[in-house]
Amino acid sequence: MPELLRIANLHASIEGKEILKGVNLTIHTGEVHAIMGKNGSGKSTLSNIVMGHPSYKVISGDILFKGKSILNMPTDERAKLGIFLSFQHPTAIPGVTVTNFLRTILKSTRGKDVPIKEFRKEVRGTMAKLEMPESFASRYVNDGFSGGEKKRNEILQMSLLKPSLAILDEIDSGLDIDALKTICDGINQNRSQDRGMLMITHYQRMLNYITPDFVHIFVDGKIMMSGDKSLALKLEEKGYEFLNVNS
Ligand SMILES: Nc1ncnc2c1ncn2[C@@H]1O[C@H](COP(=O)(O)OP(=O)(O)O)[C@@H](O)[C@H]1O
Ligand SMILES: [Mg+2]
């Protein structure tokens, strides 16, 4: 399968503090990767940097998407290339309805207007699968949404945008078990041979519903260990402390 994303020896900082200390990761099309790591290890920093968040400074290394460096590309260009990030803490956009927001991002990433009838049908169908009531469509984005509603809204965006690479930053945080199942079903429906996914999570429980091809353990700004699903189970069983024992 062709290469989708390659992160090569990436070092990056925020406010003068080095957070990423040599990240190496390659994702091919069709693959689902999971990154697990303690709070503060730099997982959100990594996802924000891949998406091009301007607050972070890349010190050295490179990020390639389909073989080309994207380091100098602004976030909207990266989105147009087919990179999507679902935020750990999605922000509210009072005054902008879910429907208008979705239509705008679809138009901007596809570069053309989506016929309204087709758009409505697609939104309705996807919302039903995610068990979102229809009234949701006319609410303001993330404004007063519960934790679970915010996460469903992120998956709704992903399902409509159909990005080549989806990065899901702690999409499982704050969800009860039913919401987790619904969201994981939504994610699984987005798996395909011509797309890739990077799931970032603190807990193994999400991986009971979504089987990743690779699991990476992130410690202090870099990948310390990689394996398959069994690595996540081992981590669950022994806790992050087992890393200290082995290192
Ligand atoms: N905007 C910021 N300003 C200052 N420090 C930050 C900022 N964002 C992240 N950090 C620091 O970077 C480190 C990694 O954070 P983060 O990437 O959010 O970790 P994780 O997602 O693994 O919990 C933490 O020490 C955090 O305090
Ligand atoms: Mg985080």
**Residue 35 belongs to domain with CATH number:** 3.40.50.300
Residue 243 pLDDT exceeds 90:
no
Coil, strand or helix at 96: strand
> Which residue lies with its CA nearest to atom 27 of ligand 1?
40
Beta strands in the chain, from DSSP E residues, in sequence order: 3-14, 17-28, 32-37, 57-65, 68-69, 83-86, 93-97, 140-141, 165-169, 196-201, 214-219, 222-227
Q: What pLDDT is stored for residue 247 in this prediction?
A: 44
Q: What pLDDT is stored for residue 246 in this prediction?
A: 46
Give Cα 29 to chain centroid, integer Å: 15
Residue from 17, 20, 169 whose mutation best tests the ligand 1 pocket (most atoms within 8 A of CB): 17
How much is the average pLDDT of 210-225?
A: 96
Q: Are strands 32-37 and 214-219 parallel, antiparallel or unpaired?
A: parallel
How much is the average pLDDT of 47-76?
A: 97
Answer yes or no: pTM beyond 0.75. yes
Q: What pLDDT is stored for residue 186 in this prediction?
A: 94
User: pLDDT tens for residues 138-187?
Assistant: 999 999 999 999 999 999 999 999 999 999 999 998 899 999 999 999 99
Say how many Å lie between the CA of residue 12 and the centre of ligand 2. Answer: 15
Residue from 35, 44, 203 whose mutation best tests the ligand 1 pocket (most atoms within 8 A of CB): 44
Domain that holds residue 50: 3-246
How much is the average pLDDT of 186-215?
A: 94
Q: What pLDDT is stored for residue 12 in this prediction?
A: 98
Q: What pLDDT is stored for residue 73 in this prediction?
A: 97
Residues measured by CB to lie within 5 Å of ligand 2, the ion: 43-44, 88
38 alpha carbon, closest ligand: 1
User: What number does the ligand 1 atom closest to the CA of 170 have?
Assistant: 21
Residue from 39, 45, 202 whose mutation best tests the ligand 1 pocket (most atoms within 8 A of CB): 45
Mean pLDDT of the chain: 94
Split into its structural domains, the chain has a count of: 1
> Which residue lies with its CA nearest to atom 9 of ligand 1?
45
How much is the average pLDDT of 4-11?
A: 98
User: What number does the ligand 1 atom closest to the CA of 47 have?
Assistant: 17
* Higher per-residue pLDDT: 88 or 40: 40
Instruction: Name the nearest CA neighbour of 88 among 203, 170, 191.
Output: 170
User: What number does the ligand 1 atom closest to the CA of 218 have?
Assistant: 22
Say how many Å lie between the CA of residue 132 and the centre of ligand 1. Answer: 32
Q: Rg for the chain (alpha carbons), in Å?
A: 18
Residue 240 pLDDT exceeds 50:
yes
Unique residue bearing structure tokens 């309705």: 124
How much is the average pLDDT of 19-26?
A: 98
Residues having CB within 6 Å of any atom of ligand 1: 14-15, 19, 37, 39-45, 55
